[in-house]
Amino acid sequence: MTLHFAFGSNMSRTLMCRRCPGARGLGSARLDGWRFIITRDGYASLVRDPGARVHGVLWRLTPRDLAALHAYEQHAYLRRIVPVRHGARRRPALIYLAPERGGGAARPGYQELVVAAARDWKLPAAYVAGLARWIPGFHGKLGVATGEMG
In the predicted structure, residue 16 carries a pLDDT above the cut 70: yes
Ordered domains of the chain (ranges, CATH): 2-132 (3.10.490.10)
pLDDT tens for each residue of 103-125 = 788 989 999 999 999 999 999 99
Across the range 124-132, mean pLDDT stands at: 96
Distance of CA 120 to the CA centre of its chain: 13
* Percent of the chain predicted with pLDDT > 70: 89
Task: State the Cα–Cα distance between residues 143 and 129, nearest whole angstrom.
Answer: 11
Phi and psi torsions of 13, nearest 5°: -60, -40
